[in-house]
Amino acid sequence: MGNGICSRVPPPVGWSANRQTHPAIAQAIFALSSDERTPEAIWEAPTPEEWRKISELVVEYVDDGDFACDNGKFAWGPFETLRLWPARRED
C-alpha cells in the first residue's frame, strides 16, 4: 500500500465482515483511529471530517491498486454506502 497512513494499523481479520463493511472502509477507519477515537467509535458515528478523510483514503487506495473500485460502492455497515463517482475529464 503506497499510502503511509494506510499501513499504520491493519484491521483485525473479520472486523469488516462482522460489521458488513467494505475492507477499504475498515482500513481507512483503522488508519484514522487513535486513543481518542477508536475504530468502533469512528465506525458507529463518524464526524464530518472523518467521513471526508475516509472518502479520500478510499480513493487513494483504489488509485494505488490496493482495492478494486467495486462499481464505486463501498458498504459502511448494513445501511450506509460510500459512493465514489468517476472523476469528470476535462476535454
**Which of 1-15, 45-59, 77-91 comes out lowest in average pLDDT?**
1-15
Domains in the chain, number = 1
Let me know: does 90 contact 36? Beta carbons within 8 Å: no
C-alpha cell at position 32 = 484514522
**Residue 33 is assigned to a structural domain of this protein:** yes
Whether 52 is in a domain gets the answer: yes
Grid cell for residue 6: 494506510
H/E run at residue 17: helix 15-18
Question: Does the residue 4 lie in any domain?
Answer: no
Say if 28 falls within a structural domain. Answer: yes
3-state helix, strand, coil split of the chain in percent (to 5) is: 45, 10, 50
Average pLDDT over residues 57-73: 91
The mean pLDDT of the chain is 86
* Domain range for 33: 15-83
